[in-house]
A and B are shown apart, each in its own frame.
Chain A
Amino acid sequence: MAIKILDLPEQEYMLPGNRACAGCSLGIAFRHILKALDGNCIFTVPASCLTVLGGMYPTSSVTVPWMNVVFPSTAAAASGLVAGLKVLGKEHITVVAMAGDGGTADIGIQALSGAAERNANFLYICYDNEAYMNTGTQRSGSTPMGAKTTTTPALGKRQHSKDVPKIIEAHGVPYIATASPSYPADLYDKVRKAIGIHGTRYMHINAPCPSGWQFPPKDTVKFGRQAIETGIFALYEIQDGVFRLTGRSKRLAQTGQLTPVRDYIVPQGRFKGIAEETIEEVQRWVNARWAAYVRRDAEAA
């Protein structure tokens, strides 16, 4: 039963005021994730923007138990929490590993792959702001083609982004979902569903970043919506191997009208100076991937 925004639980687990940037989409996403978990959780968080949001000793901006860990180890730390809680008879607590795209697709992928192969019983959430934002916007495996970062300053990233959900799908885990802070009800529902599933659950959240993507902080939700309208980001679930589009992406598949990627790319400062050929290549790549999503979604019907 899909939740409506006005019916979201009122209990807050994020305290007012934290060190995230103005307009940070991670803050929106995290707030709703915490509501879905309803406090029955232990988080493990690597070096990332989320670490900063959590706060500096001796204060904390959240009221859930939280263990900071080294950058590559998030999924391994989560595996350790699971093992420890199991022997201590506390398996009812949901273990959540929450990392950025760097800590997931790049330095964190070994631990994530190992944990997924073991089907370790935790929820892994990647918030993808498409670069190493915490350390000043260096490129990651998730950075889209053409984006300028501090390590792709003149030429922009020359490769497409790594499809992490696809990599995780290859591990045969019971639940994979994408979500967006621009559609918080869909995000909330997916976390609620994930809590009830045993094994490794993976969520990939689009995280528009005003600082790194270079757009006004007030436009975060707008760019998140546009990522979905263009098909650059799609809302879907893969449950026990069955792929389904959800929410706005499902409706788009039914009406069949994606917005051109150009409308999303051009207004962002990180794409300044992007070549026409690159925009065309991105469009081609999005079209191919979207077609595959639509096809798979139709098979499930």
Chain B
Amino acid sequence: MHEKKAEIAIITGNQAAANAARLGRVQVVAAYPITPQSSVVETLSKFIEEGELAAEFVTVESEHSALAVCIAASTVGARVFTATSANGLAYMCEQIHWAAGSRLPIVMGCANRAMAAPWSVLNDQQDSMSQRDAGWIQIYCRNNQEIMDTFIQAFKIAETVHVPVMVCYDGYILSHTVMPVEVPRQEDVDAFLPPYQPHLTLDPADPKNINPVTLADPRLNHEGKLCHGYMEHRFLHQEALLQSTETIIAVGQEYAERFGRDWGGLYWGYQLEDAEVIVMAAGSLASEATVAVDALRADGIRAGVLGLRVYRPFPKRELVAAVAQARLVVVVDKSLSYGNEGPICGDLKAALFGRDRAPALHGYVAGLGGRDVKARQLAETVRNSMARLDEGMLLSDTQWIDCRI
């Protein structure tokens, strides 16, 4: 219980991210500007230069170098932070894999933006979705308060499970839109998030060689002990990711107890419990879907929203349980695995495969390159899907919402 109310600030998603990094007492920041992330970097520069945050800011010359700095600083034991979007995320791709394989607790913001070509600075989720296989935890935020809270949680999650965390939020829609955000007090964040305790650091007192060439098969060390091959390291990484759901939920619950806001853990539901048709999406799109659901409910359709919060690890069991009793799931992806289908749709379909009770699944793509997605379009999509279902149509191919060809 707090005697004094925390401050309410009217801030953008980017400012929420920067403030969360400040409250998280990050020690090294390295970031390269890219629309629509730039004000995260600018805000943090201001905090550091004006003495509000005691951190080193390395003004790197590229995103690849930004993550290089974070990897190195994290390796010697500093808490680090960076943020990027789209082509910047793609530029650091090999480092994204490196950070994950190194098991470093790096927290990175991704202000979701469409990938070029062609050029677009506007929102979709292709950037972070394209990196889903690298082995980071990925969390999608639906509003600026969740951005603030999720970044703070992310440091604790990452440092507990030794897996880097990517906090994703829609470019412009959230990054640039002001919303009221309760900014936690520094002392309350300090009580929640202790200083980073690395499990391994580089120091001349105890010299180690980090991430050398690792062969296919286990190999003896100088003491005759058989040590892991590459595959065993990757197995441990995968195990850590799969088990991280427990930590993600626990950290969220602890945060809810201390700060009074519960974002649902792995996913959140709106009118989900008795829904016969579920709209599933990640980020602000899921938030928009709640408006669609209200309209559908007003017309007597038992619709609900399943807002996917944690995309990696993919919470298979929890999602299967959440959709089991529904007749239909309408998955709306704001990205596409080109040559196949939407990533969330494909992953849910795979999770449902072979189950006795599985709803029908219709996959849609919407909002690419910043194409606006209106609640009434989502509602119409649901109605169309239900009609097709009633007609007995299979609808296994991806449908496009508001594509004007």
Check B98 against A57 for contact (C-beta < 8 Å): no
Give which listed residue, A39, A83, A93, contacts B73 with CB less than 8 A. A83
How does the 8 Å CB contact mask read for A54-69 relative to B, with 1 for contact and 0 for none? 1111111011111111
Check B76 against A88 for contact (C-beta < 8 Å): yes
Give which listed residue, A42, A55, A60, A70, contacts B98 with CB less than 8 A. A70
Q: Which B residues are CB-close (under 8 A) to A73?
A: 64-65, 68, 95
Is B298 close to A, CB under 8 A?
no
- Chain B residue at minimal CB-CB distance from A113: B61
Q: Which of A50-99 contact B (CB under 8 A)?
A: 51-52, 54-60, 62-70, 72-73, 76-81, 83-88, 90, 93
Q: Which B residues are CB-close (under 8 A) to A193?
A: none
Measured in the bound complex, the distance between the Cα atoms of B94 and A56 in whole Å is 21
Measured in the bound complex, the distance between the Cα atoms of B45 and A6 in whole Å is 51
A residues sitting closer than 8 Å to B (CB atoms) are: 39-42, 44, 51-52, 54-60, 62-70, 72-73, 76-81, 83-88, 90, 93, 110-111, 113-114, 117-118, 120
Check B69 against A83 for contact (C-beta < 8 Å): yes
Measured in the bound complex, the distance between the Cα atoms of B77 and A42 in whole Å is 13
- Chain B residue at minimal CB-CB distance from A80: B72
Q: Which of B185-233 contact A (CB under 8 A)?
A: 202-204, 206-215, 219-222, 225, 227-228
Q: A73-B64, A87-B27, A88-B77 are in contact. Are A79 and B69 (CB under 8 A)?
A: yes
- Chain B residue at minimal CB-CB distance from A52: B213
Q: A114-B65, A118-B58 are in contact. Are A69 and B202 (CB under 8 A)?
A: no
Is B59 close to A, CB under 8 A?
yes
- Chain A residue at minimal CB-CB distance from B59: A118
A-B contact pairs, 10 of them (CB 8 A): A39-B204, A42-B202, A56-B215, A57-B212, A63-B207, A69-B72, A84-B56, A84-B74, A87-B55, A90-B76
Q: Which A residues are CB-close (under 8 A) to B208?
A: 60, 65-66
Q: Which residue, of B30, B75, B221, has the highest number of chain A Cβ atoms within 10 A?
A: B75
Check B64 against A84 for contact (C-beta < 8 Å): no
How does the 8 Å CB contact mask read for B46-87 relative to A, with 1 for contact and 0 for none? 000000001110111110111011111111111010000000
Q: Give 9 A-B pairs besides A56-B219, A69-B72, A80-B68 with Cβ atoms closer than 8 angstroms.
A: A41-B204, A57-B228, A60-B212, A67-B211, A73-B64, A73-B68, A76-B72, A117-B61, A118-B59
Check A84 against B75 for contact (C-beta < 8 Å): yes
Check A80 against B58 for contact (C-beta < 8 Å): yes
Check A83 against B58 for contact (C-beta < 8 Å): yes
Q: Which B residues are CB-close (under 8 A) to A72?
A: 64
Chain B: interface residue total (CB-CB under 8 A): 49
Q: Which residue, of B95, B204, B209, B228, has the highest number of chain A Cβ atoms within 10 A?
A: B209
Is B295 close to A, CB under 8 A?
no
9 tightest A-B contacts by CB?
A: A80-B72, A114-B61, A84-B73, A76-B65, A80-B69, A76-B68, A73-B68, A58-B227, A60-B209
- Chain B residue at minimal CB-CB distance from A84: B73
Measured in the bound complex, the distance between the Cα atoms of B28 and A85 in whole Å is 10
Q: Closest CB of chain B to A237's CB: distance in Å?
A: 27
Q: Which B residues are CB-close (under 8 A) to A63?
A: 207
Check B65 against A111 for contact (C-beta < 8 Å): yes
Check A68 against B211 for contact (C-beta < 8 Å): yes
Measured in the bound complex, the distance between the Cα atoms of B68 and A80 in whole Å is 7
B residues sitting closer than 8 Å to A (CB atoms) are: 27-28, 30, 54-56, 58-62, 64-66, 68-78, 80, 94-95, 98, 202-204, 206-215, 219-222, 225, 227-228
Q: Closest CB of chain B to A162's CB: distance in Å?
A: 19
Q: Which A residues are CB-close (under 8 A) to B209?
A: 54-55, 57, 60, 62, 65-66, 68
Check B64 against A55 for contact (C-beta < 8 Å): no
Check A57 against B28 for contact (C-beta < 8 Å): no
Measured in the bound complex, the distance between the Cα atoms of B286 and A160 in whole Å is 59
Measured in the bound complex, the distance between the Cα atoms of B127 and A16 in whole Å is 47
Q: Closest CB of chain B to A166's CB: distance in Å?
A: 20
Q: A39-B204, A56-B213 are in contact. Are A69 and B68 (CB under 8 A)?
A: yes
Check B61 against A111 for contact (C-beta < 8 Å): yes
Q: Closest CB of chain A to B211's CB: distance in Å?
A: 4
- Chain A residue at minimal CB-CB distance from B219: A58
Measured in the bound complex, the distance between the Cα atoms of B62 and A234 in whole Å is 33
Check A110 against B56 for contact (C-beta < 8 Å): no
Check A88 against B65 for contact (C-beta < 8 Å): no
Q: Closest CB of chain A to B34's CB: distance in Å?
A: 16
Measured in the bound complex, the distance between the Cα atoms of B75 and A282 in whole Å is 45
Q: Which B residues are CB-close (under 8 A) to A55?
A: 209, 212-213
- Chain B residue at minimal CB-CB distance from A85: B76
- Chain A residue at minimal CB-CB distance from B66: A76
Measured in the bound complex, the distance between the Cα atoms of B78 and A217 in whole Å is 44
Q: Closest CB of chain A to B79's CB: distance in Å?
A: 9
Check B219 against A57 for contact (C-beta < 8 Å): yes
Q: Closest CB of chain B to A41's CB: distance in Å?
A: 7
Give which listed residue, A51, A64, A68, A80, contacts B207 with CB less than 8 A. A64
Q: Which A residues are CB-close (under 8 A) to B203?
A: 42, 65, 90, 93
Q: A79-B72, A80-B70 are in contact. Are A65 and B28 (CB under 8 A)?
A: no
- Chain A residue at minimal CB-CB distance from B65: A76
Measured in the bound complex, the distance between the Cα atoms of B87 and A48 in whole Å is 27
Check B222 against A77 for contact (C-beta < 8 Å): no
Measured in the bound complex, the distance between the Cα atoms of B61 and A62 in whole Å is 32
Q: A84-B75, A84-B76 are in contact. Are A57 and B69 (CB under 8 A)?
A: no
Q: Closest CB of chain A to B199's CB: distance in Å?
A: 15
Q: Which A residues are CB-close (under 8 A) to B73?
A: 80-81, 83-84, 87
Check B215 against A57 for contact (C-beta < 8 Å): yes
Check B202 against A58 for contact (C-beta < 8 Å): no
Q: A63-B207, A66-B208, A66-B210 are in contact. Are A110 and B65 (CB under 8 A)?
A: yes
- Chain A residue at minimal CB-CB distance from B70: A80
Check A76 against B64 for contact (C-beta < 8 Å): yes
Q: Which B residues are CB-close (under 8 A) to A59?
A: 219, 221-222
Measured in the bound complex, the distance between the Cα atoms of B202 and A60 in whole Å is 14
Measured in the bound complex, the distance between the Cα atoms of B69 and A78 in whole Å is 7
Q: Which A residues are CB-close (under 8 A) to B204?
A: 39-42, 64-65, 93
Q: Closest CB of chain A to B105's CB: distance in Å?
A: 13
Measured in the bound complex, the distance between the Cα atoms of B222 and A76 in whole Å is 32
Q: Which B residues are CB-close (under 8 A) to A56?
A: 212-215, 219
